[in-house]
Structure 1
Amino acid sequence: MAEKTCAACDYPLDGDAIKVTIGGRVVEVCCEECALKLREAEASP
């Protein structure tokens, strides 16, 4: 089975992954810092 990784930094995810909706898709990230990076990238023009 493939290991899940963070959508922002490719760090291996554990049971404490944070779900973030980006562009209508739900992705999982490892920490709040990565979630913020993705949200900022989506908001930028």
Structure 2
Amino acid sequence: MKEKTCAACDYALDENAIEVTIGGRVVEVCCEECAEKLREASAKGSA
């Protein structure tokens, strides 16, 4: 089985993963800090 990793930092995900919608796609991250990083990057990219 393939291990899932954080979309921001490649850390292994566990049952506490957070789902974040970026550009209409749902991705999983390991923590709120990584979620915020992706949100900020997405906001900059769409500006």
> Under TM normalisation by the shorter chain, which class is it?
over 0.9
- The runs of at least 4 aligned residues of structure 1 exceeding 2 Å deviation read none
Mapping 1:1-45, distance limit 5 Å: 1-44=1-44, 45=47
**TM-score (normalised: structure 1):** 0.97
Gaps of 5+ in 2: none
Q: CA RMSD in A?
A: 0.5
Percent identity, aligned pairs only, is 80
Query: Which structure's residues are more often helix, by fraction?
Result: 2
What count of residue pairs does the alignment treat as equivalent?
A: 45
Gaps of 5+ in 1: none
